[in-house]
Chain A
Amino acid sequence: MPSTFNAVARFAIVAIVAIVAPGDALAQSNEVNVYTYRESKLIQPLFEAFSKDTGIKVNVISASSGLEQRISTEGANSPADVLLTVDIGRLEDAVKAGISQPIVLPALDKVVPAQYRDPEGHWYAISMRARVIYASKDRVTQTAITYDELADPKWKGKICIRSGQHIYNNALFAAYIAKHGEAKAEQWLRGLKANLAQKPSGGDRETARDVAAGKCDLGIGNTYYWALMMDKETDRKPWAEATKVILPTFADGGTHVNVSGVVLAKHAPNKANAMKLIEWLAGEKAQHMHADLNYEYPVRSGIATNPTIAGYGTLKPDTLALSKIADSKKAAAALVDKVGFDN
């Protein structure tokens, strides 16, 4: 098969050149390398605006798990400058894994409230979301609800939720444990489980869809999904229109919020550019983009939330320290196992 062999050889040479081309593997002067758990489509507009403002090119890897391990294994040669992630647990995990270094930006401390940054500067939140209720407009008359009430038997067979092990729920359950202790949390989680209309599965959008379709009356989801469906996705608008968003509260009156945040990699080869990016992400322009493109709550004080999000009512974030939520993360996962929440 000489002709096949030649073709194969030619292809191999071209491919090897293309694959080992070191451009992306090496740190370049005017670039910054971002490892992100946030979907690249979601943050690409922000990076494009950053590049336009500063002339710094942003290189991206997005994944769903394992980026901390990747950075940590890559070690001193890691090209990672910034890790962008959602969930307080993951931010704290990254710090514990020893892959971070303090972000020293005094200007940032003035605009980001202490609640939303690490005391030692190892992470800064850049946006927030709340875990709320999508309630059927037709079948639910209540306009306020507490998280505790979700375990009330009056909702038997009427609640939909995604997997109890998903980080959004994991953080909510962890917050409940941190506030009320494990024993009470277990009782609450058993009550919630008993009220589910179906096995936990799908995502937050499916939850809204199930409420709209009459499968259940209450769904638990994040604030931005509902707004996206209402404003941006014509085919899903009916799901949002069939539901109303209620900001639930803990017994002490706060609503559970989680954050997306940044970590500066320990061996960041482009540290200066990374600092510029972090500062820019907490800046006014980026905070407005977070609010209006991605429907998140800005962390920077003085930035207005998007009108659709503001329509849910005034958010009163739970004041529990985020690190306390991260500390209860494992206990929450164990509790979900124990009560067979996902089974």
Chain B
Amino acid sequence: MNLSQTHSYGPALGGAVSLFPAVKLLAVLIAVAIAALVAFPLVSLARLAAIGDADLWPHLSAYVLPVALLQTTLLLLGVAAITSVAGVSTAWLVSTYQFPGRNILVWMLPMPLAIPTYIAAYVYVDILDAAGPLQTALRALFGWRTGAEYWFPPIRSLGGAVFVIGFVLYPYVYFAARAMFQMQSAGLTDAARTLGARPWQLVRDISLPLARPALAVGVALALLETLNDIGASEYLGVQTLTLSVFTTWLNRGSLGGAAQISLAMLALAAGLIALERYGRRRQGHQSDGQDSRMASRVVLSGGWGRLATLTCLVPVTFGFLVPAGFLLREAILRGLVAGFDHDLLRHTATTFVLAVCASLVVVLLGIAAALPLRLVPRPFVLACLAVATMGYAVPGTVLALGLLSPLVAVDEAINWLSMRAGGAQVGLVLAGSSVALIVAYTVRFLSISIGFVQAGLTRVSTDFDDVARLLGAGPLTLVRSVHLPLLRPALWGAALLVFVDCLKELPMTLLLRPLNVETLSTYIYQFATRGSFEEGALAALLIVAVGILPIVWLVRQAETVPATSEVPTVFQ
């Protein structure tokens, strides 16, 4: 791969050799269709925004948006700082060194991914708030009576939100960075070590520059999640933009104004997506190393070893052990295990089936969306692809509202057809069934799978395409026999990440689910709104348990990385 191929359309552009026009057309049509799927809710959002009242804006810009913009920016900066420091340092340690507990920590470090952020927020308020065990003990110890007599860092604050969200979302960075560190050709670090480089020099001059693209990708994902969060920030009293979308809609009585704010937020999100793309583009340069065997891990013992253990233990403790331990304790103390609510089995099955279906659809569409650009490298196709990734950038409830009208429109067409054919009204086949949820998950999480597939494709040299064609393979054979097998790890990675995200998804599920359908998230939510989320502790643990399975799979893949450069693409 040479540098000239690594321009803005990705290295795939160089590979566009003669293709059947019909196949090209088909590829473009598919790209357009997928973009349209995501564009429909955005268009209905834009329609809402168009009818929004303009007289609200002076009020919003005077009193609401400055605060929201500042708090959102600080929140994003804080989360970026925690996720990058925690994600990169731990990934570097477990990839480069062998230290006490490393083999266990390597399993634990990704676990926070299975903890929904709002659950973590509830847990930390319970523990750290004025009435929590910590402050109660402090008061007893020092004889304080009221909160005015001492200072304790308030968990219900911007800082608290940064702490909670940062330590739950750092695995996005960890995954990306770990893949990078693992792929570092051993030659580089070995050579540097032989030349007498100190560990910190290895980090500064080799590891960090190489990890920067991964860092950008992971941080961008974590920040998009943060931008969309509503549960945690609302509970912790942070006035984010997403919260202002809700208050504008529900309190200021302006759905139009709310739609306008969300559209403006798309710009912010687009910036984050651009950051991710920038990061991924840079990857092309160093994926070509011939020597991609894993660098051997240096054994750390004594004080350094303990320091390494501690460094990894901190994020695992805050992001996973404390929340999961608290949930476990509540589930047992409240008799939720003994008095098992049998509905939970049904809800777990529903959640699981929905998440699996959505992951399948998302991955298939991710392939279908990303491949056309490889076959037909034109700006128009690239634009379609960009549209297809925008679903991640809209707050869930707003996206769900935007999805309702297109779904109902299709349903009305189906009813009309059914009547014309002499049949009966069939009702809301899509909007009234779980299809609505699958569509919603798809629109939302498509950008994850597109990202994975694209990252995977940059590793499949276009030389393969050329060779395959020289050997007489048609475009479909090329995709089926060359691209898909090589993309397999990336596809699994995407599927599993989407799966975990679907398990945790709340706002869209809440609004779009059919009658009598509950997922684990909505089950917990009904306790949370009444201020007793602890009664949903077992359901939260079930989300964690189901979510851990694919994470374990991911870790196993990473730990048994073979000497080819393909597997780590899973984590990009």
Contact = CB atoms under 8 A, between A and B. Distances in A.
Interface of A: 1, 8, 11-12, 15, 18-22, 24-27, 33, 39-42, 59-67, 69-70, 73-75, 77-79, 93, 139, 157, 163, 165, 167, 170, 197-206, 209-210, 212-216, 225, 233, 239, 329-330, 332-334, 336-338, 340, 342-343
B428 A334 contact: no
Nearest to B144: A214
Interface in B387-443: 397, 400-401, 404-405, 408, 411-412, 415, 425-429, 431-435, 438
A137 to B, nearest CB: 13
B253 A330 contact: yes
B405 A73 contact: yes
Given A20-B433, A25-B433, A42-B530, A333 B516 contact: no
B525 interface: yes
Contact of B234 (A73, A139, A163, A214): A163
B511 A70 contact: yes
Interface residues on B, range: 35 or more
Among B246, B249, B252, B412: residue with most chain A CB under 10 A: B252
A24 B427 CA distance: 10
Contacts of B136: 213
B428 A78 contact: yes
Interface string B219-235: 00000000000000011
A225 B234 CA distance: 20
Contacts of A12: 357, 360
Given A24-B516, A25-B429, A210 B511 contact: no
Interface stretch (B124-132, B164-172, B304-312): B124-132
B146 A69 contact: no
Given A74-B428, A329-B253, A64 B514 contact: no
B510 A210 contact: no
A69 B255 CA distance: 10
Given A18-B353, A214-B145, A74 B404 contact: yes
Interface stretch (B22-30, B59-67, B183-191): B59-67
A12 B357 CA distance: 7
A203 B63 CA distance: 24
Contacts of A40: 518, 526
A62 B125 CA distance: 26
A333 B532 CA distance: 27
Contacts of A216: 147
B513 interface: yes
A290 B236 CA distance: 31
Contact of B515 (A15, A59, A75, A77): A59
A264 to B, nearest CB: 17
A12 B147 CA distance: 57
Contacts of B157: 199
B250 interface: yes
A239 B131 contact: yes
B131 A25 contact: no
B515 A79 contact: yes
Nearest to A40: B526
Contact of B237 (A1, A205, A233, A342): A342
B526 A209 contact: no
A201 B235 contact: yes
19 contacts: A12-B357, A15-B356, A19-B357, A22-B429, A24-B517, A39-B527, A59-B516, A61-B515, A62-B510, A63-B510, A65-B249, A77-B411, A77-B415, A199-B154, A209-B129, A209-B131, A210-B131, A212-B131, A343-B67
The 7 closest A-B pairs by CB, nearest first: A201-B237, A333-B251, A25-B432, A205-B531, A213-B131, A213-B130, A215-B147
Contacts of B141: none
B526 A62 contact: yes
Interface string B242-260: 0000110111110100000
Contacts of B513: 61
B531 A65 contact: no
Nearest to A11: B356
B145 to A, nearest CB: 6
Contacts of B357: 12, 15, 19
A342 B158 CA distance: 12
A204 B145 contact: no
A260 to B, nearest CB: 13
Given A1-B488, A215-B147, A64 B515 contact: no
Contacts, number: 201
B329 to A, nearest CB: 12
For the complex, would chain B's binding face be called helix, strand, loop or mixed by DSSP majority?
Answer: helix
A106 B184 CA distance: 79
A64 B434 CA distance: 19
A28 B21 CA distance: 51
Interface in B113-149: 125, 129-131, 135-136, 139, 144-148
Contacts of B408: 73-75, 77
B239 interface: yes
Nearest to B334: A235
B428 A79 contact: yes
A342 to B, nearest CB: 6
Among A19, A212, A213, A332: residue with most chain B CB under 10 A: A19
Interface string B196-232: 0000000000000000000000000000000000000
Contacts of B516: 24, 59-61
B156 A199 contact: yes
B529 interface: yes
Given A20-B433, A69-B255, A213-B139, 5 more contacts: A22-B427, A24-B433, A24-B516, A73-B408, A201-B236
A66 B236 CA distance: 23
Contacts of A209: 129-131
A93 B408 CA distance: 22
Nearest to B349: A18
B531 A203 contact: yes
Contacts of A33: 515
A41 B527 contact: yes
Contact of A170 (B251, B360, B531): B251
Nearest to A205: B531
Nearest to A342: B239
A217 to B, nearest CB: 8
A201 B253 CA distance: 21
Contacts of A214: 130, 139, 144-147
Contacts of B526: 39-42, 62
Contacts of B144: 214
Contacts of B239: 342-343
A69 B404 contact: yes
Contacts of A59: 515-516
A300 B137 CA distance: 47
A65 B59 contact: no
A63 B511 contact: yes
B397 A66 contact: yes
Contact of A27 (B235, B400, B427, B488): B427
Given A69-B401, A165-B251, A8 B360 contact: yes
Interface in B311-347: none
A20 B429 contact: yes
A198 B154 contact: yes
A8 B361 CA distance: 11
Contacts of B59: 334, 337
B349 to A, nearest CB: 9
